[in-house]
Chain A
């Protein structure tokens, strides 16, 4: 309490200028991109995750080395929607888009996007499930399927398949009770031969 930047000024500025909560934190503005703070201690917006927590999540859950993202910054626009960007930009930023959405936070189980997994999933070695031919085709068609050989964690997994003598990440599946639910969004689903 009271350790936020300019904590003393907030009362003077008044609540029309900054919608503060009891910790002196601002609310998320869903209309613009804000760069994530480096650490939780530097947070100025309520509920916003930090870069450190995002890197920790990718490392803990999927064993993606944090250095993978040395040339990228992370941003929030829309509550809990995290974007990954390689370019230059000041924060805050009110333009149409930067980079790609990579992660959904502000919910109990964070969820990476299909596009992120296809772009960065080759760096993962944990919570990665390799699917066989027909399983892979069902997955990209958006179908749910029984898979009983998985004895790792439940929750969001990276689904891969072998093609051209190497594995390629396809997207995210939700694994619960022996079933893998494809999270590939409608617009990315395909019926492949």
Chain B
């Protein structure tokens, strides 16, 4: 927990924050509306005697009262998918529409890519990319299990992504669910902080900047780019978005999200960020009893 000490000045109720980080995470699933409506999914869970609680902010996110959410009929049918509650936030903020072209730059193992496809009624094109071939095979397995027929899967470094394979040259929306130092997954993964170092944060922050830049470049004017991480480090969050607004035609915009969260930071150590970064969301574990997350929504302006 020591690396988290540096966040004491920016987190309200730091004690509650640390307390939440030490508790294990409740198990959550997302209803895959590609294969069943929410009502149908709930009827199947009831028939299977699996007790559930719907998240207030999103009725398709359920907390299940079972130790093994994978050993259920709904999971076998591809009607539910094990996915951390906050991990369902970025696709909601992205708000993709049926028929659109959407790029998920860092897509494996596919929880969010399949959620994007579901929100589009599985109509349109969702390009799910990842630089890691091994993780892509998990993505492909999940996509087929969940019946996401609108997915196209590519294997490239997102920083110099080429649009060549496709019949179109820009996307309507892009999600950058970036590789990060994963501080916010501490509840799921108690050794998440083991490799923590300022050097690691600095190097991963460089990768994040490169991926976000490319996502903005490949998105059409007026299109949307969502940047998210599962970490608290401002170097990987506000600083990356700040870099994007300084170097690419885009601005940070507001979004509605029915969860408790803190606004993005406008200053960290000796750095200051644009005041629009307050429009980003910092979701801390003690806010909603979830993992930690950062989300910012950008509009592409040229």
Contacts and interface: CB of A to CB of B under 8 A. Distances in A.
A163 B152 contact: no
A164 B153 contact: no
A71 interface: yes
Contacts of A192: 71-73, 76
Contacts of B140: 96-97
Contacts of A191: 71
A183 B136 CA distance: 25
Interface string A84-120: 1111111001111111110000000000010100110
B154 interface: yes
Contact of B40 (A89, A95, A97, A166): A166
Given A88-B166, A166-B40, A71 B153 contact: no
B126 A87 contact: yes
B145 A115 contact: yes
A168 B75 CA distance: 12
B44 A164 contact: yes
B155 A88 contact: no
B149 A190 contact: no
B151 A99 contact: yes
Most buried by B among A71, A72, A97, A113: A97
B13 interface: no
A170 interface: yes
A144 B255 CA distance: 52
Given A163-B44, A188-B76, A118 B153 contact: no
A89 B43 CA distance: 37
A69 to B, nearest CB: 10
Contacts of B45: 164
A115 B144 contact: yes
A117 to B, nearest CB: 10
* Size bin of chain A's contact surface: 35 or more
Interface in B236-281: none
Given A86-B124, A118-B77, A101 B44 contact: no
B166 A89 contact: yes
Interface string B143-169: 111011111111100000000011110
Most buried by B among A96, A99, A100: A96
A98 B166 CA distance: 12
B76 A140 contact: yes
A163 B73 contact: yes
Given A86-B122, A95-B152, A96-B136, A168 B77 contact: yes
B143 A97 contact: yes
B94 interface: no
B67 interface: no
Most buried by A among B72, B78, B144, B166: B144
B155 A118 contact: no
Interface string A145-165: 000000000000000000111
Contacts of A2: none
B141 interface: yes
Interface in A23-77: 71-72
Nearest to B133: A96
Contacts of A94: 165
B47 A96 contact: no
A164 B167 contact: no
Contact of A118 (B35, B71, B136, B151): B35
B71 A99 contact: no
Contacts of B40: 164, 166
B10 to A, nearest CB: 40
Contact of B144 (A86, A89, A100): A100
B213 to A, nearest CB: 23
A140 to B, nearest CB: 6
Interface string B24-55: 00000000001100001001111110000000
Contacts of B188: none
A63 to B, nearest CB: 20
Shortest 7 CB-CB contacts between residues of A and residues of B: A164-B43, A119-B147, A87-B125, A97-B153, A164-B47, A99-B149, A96-B153
21 contacts: A85-B152, A86-B124, A86-B150, A87-B125, A87-B152, A89-B125, A94-B165, A95-B153, A96-B136, A97-B143, A99-B149, A100-B143, A100-B149, A115-B78, A115-B144, A115-B147, A118-B77, A119-B147, A164-B46, A190-B71, A192-B73
